[in-house]
Amino acid sequence: MSKDETQIHPSAIVHPDARIAPGVFIGPFSIIGANVTIGKNTRFDAHAFVEGHTEIGEDCRFFPYSMIGTEPQDVGYKEEVTLLKIGDKNIFREFCTVHRGTAKGGGQTVIGNDNYFMAYAHVAHDCSVGNEIVALNAASLAGHVTVDDYATVGAFSGIHQFCRVGKYAFIGGYSCCTQDVVPFCRVAGDRPTLLYGTNSVGLRRRGFSRERIAAIKEMLKILLYSDLNTQQALEEIKSRFSSGEDRDELIKFVEYSKRGFIKKTGNKWEKNSG
Instruction: Tell me the DSSP string of 177-241.
Output: E-SBB-TTEEEE-BSS-EEEEE-HHHHHHTT--HHHHHHHHHHHIIIIISSS-HHHHHHHHHHHS
| pTM exceeding the 0.75 threshold for the entire prediction | yes
Looking at residue 3, its pLDDT comes to 65
Pick from 114, 268, 113, 91: nearest CA to 194: 268
- In the three-class reduction of DSSP (H, G, I as helix; E, B as strand; rest coil), residue 109 is classed as strand
Band of residue 252 on the pLDDT scale cut at 50, 70, 90: very high
> If 0-12 CB within 10 Å is exposed, 13-18 middle and 19+ buried, where does residue 211 land?
exposed
Q: Considering the candidates 45, 74, 88, 126, report the single residue annotated as catalytic.
A: 126
For this structure, is 149 an active site residue?
A: no
Q: Considering the candidates 53, 122, 125, 144, report the single residue annotated as catalytic.
A: 125
Looking at residue 268, its pLDDT comes to 59
Looking at residue 59, its pLDDT comes to 98
Fold entry, domain 7-202: UDP N-Acetylglucosamine Acyltransferase; domain 1 (2.160.10)
Q: Considering the candidates 143, 158, 189, 202, report the single residue annotated as catalytic.
A: 143
Cα–Cα distance measured from residue 261 to residue 177, given in angstroms and rounded to the nearest whole number: 9
The arithmetic mean of pLDDT across residues 54-66, rounded, is: 98
Host H or E run for residue 255: helix 245-255
Q: Convert the pLDDT of each residue in 192-206 to its tens digit.
A: 999 999 999 999 999
Pick from 45, 49, 10: nearest CA to 26: 45
The arithmetic mean of pLDDT across residues 212-222, rounded, is: 98
Band of residue 272 on the pLDDT scale cut at 50, 70, 90: very low
For this structure, is 248 an active site residue?
A: no
**Is the pLDDT assigned to residue 244 strictly greater than 70?**
yes
Sequence-distant (6+) residues with CB within 8 A of 129 are 110, 111, 112, 115, 123, 141, 146, 147
Question: Cα torsion at 253, 259, 260, 263 (round to 10°)?
Answer: -110
Q: What angle do CA 13, 15, 17 make, to 5 degrees?
A: 160
What distances in angstroms separate CA 211 from CA 236, 251, 271, one per listed residue? 19, 19, 14
Pick from 69, 63, 61: nearest CA to 24: 61
For this structure, is 130 an active site residue?
A: no
Q: Which residues pair with 265 in a beta bridge?
A: 195
Q: List the strands of the sheet with 25-26, edge to edge.
A: 7-8, 25-26, 43-44, 61-62, 91-92, 116-117, 134-135, 152-153, 170-171, 185-188, 194-198
Q: At what angle do helices 230-240 and 245-255 cross, to 10 degrees?
A: 160
Cα–Cα distance measured from residue 6 to residue 188, given in angstroms and rounded to the nearest whole number: 44
Instruction: Give domain limits for the chain.
Output: 7-202, 208-255
